[in-house]
Amino acid sequence: MTTISATIFNVLADEIVRGVLKPGSKLEELPLAGRFKVSRTPIREVLRELASKGLVQLVPRKGVLVAEIGLEELSDLLEAECELEALCAQIAAHRMSLLEKKHLERIHELTTEAVDQDDEATYLALNHEFHNAISAGTHNHHIAQMIGNLRGRLSGFRQAQSQTEKRLVTSHSEHQSIVQAILSSDAPRAFEAMRLHNARLSSKVIEQLMKPKRSPLNSKPSSSRTKK
């Protein structure tokens, strides 16, 4: 997506997850274009992206409607991503070449600059590169593909945390622990650092969805998952 489209996507994803835009609400191109002062072209791109992430539904003869988010299914996806990405970090700590580790370290240095400048857009782009570098570092195409699919499906929920206090600082600090473990080839520590990072993010997503102002959800999470 273009920078403009990505910004609009983040705003709408955040409003959907927080319940500002209620399930069943209709999203129309013209009013959205007026709201964000853009043409209808980026709006169409954003709506397609929201649909691909399961945040809206394209309903024949009705248009684009905000989706009802099933909490149980979402919890399953978040749990799977949490465990698989931790496994990725563990394997990458063993298999990453020196060049790949230097590349990961450089990405992390650039995110430090983004945090210092409070540049959320740049940080999120680098965050994507960071996780992709670790997935690639497994040298296992199938694992990397599974993680890529999961992260793609969950990206809208992950990014809808604009009200989280010190979001970038916290994420960056957790990344630091992951990088240190991978650079030192400490696989168990890399696994745990990545697992804790994703578990915190997952708990924030669930917390947003369970706020009382949202419409009732399809299901409730199990007690084991809400403890993450």
Per-residue confidence (pLDDT) for residue 161, from 0 to 100:
59
Q: Which residues pair with 63 in a beta bridge?
A: 59
pTM: 0.72
How many DSSP H helices and E strands does the chain contain? Answer: 10, 3
Nearest to 195 by CA among 223, 226, 222, 228: 228
Query: Can you tell me whether residue 113 is helix, strand or coil?
Result: helix
Spatial distance between the Cα atoms of 74 and 65, rounded to a whole number of angstroms? 19
What's the average model confidence in pLDDT over 113-120? Answer: 92
Per-residue confidence (pLDDT) for residue 157, from 0 to 100:
76
Per-residue confidence (pLDDT) for residue 30, from 0 to 100:
95
Per residue in 72-101, pLDDT (tens digit) is 888 898 999 999 999 999 999 999 999 999
What's the average model confidence in pLDDT over 50-60? Answer: 88
Residue 166: burial class (beta carbons within 10 Å; 0-12, 13-18, 19+): exposed
Q: Which residue has the tokens 């709006």?
A: 43
Q: What are the structural domains of the chain?
A: 3-66 (1.10.10.10), 71-226 (1.20.120.530)
Buried b (16+ CB within 10 A) or exposed e, 173-198: ebbebbbebbbeebbebbbbbbbbbb
Average predicted confidence (pLDDT) for the chain: 86
- Asked if pLDDT for residue 204 goes beyond 70, the answer is yes
**152 or 134: which leads in pLDDT:** 134
Per-residue confidence (pLDDT) for residue 205, from 0 to 100:
81
Q: What single letter denotes the amino acid at residue 17? A: V
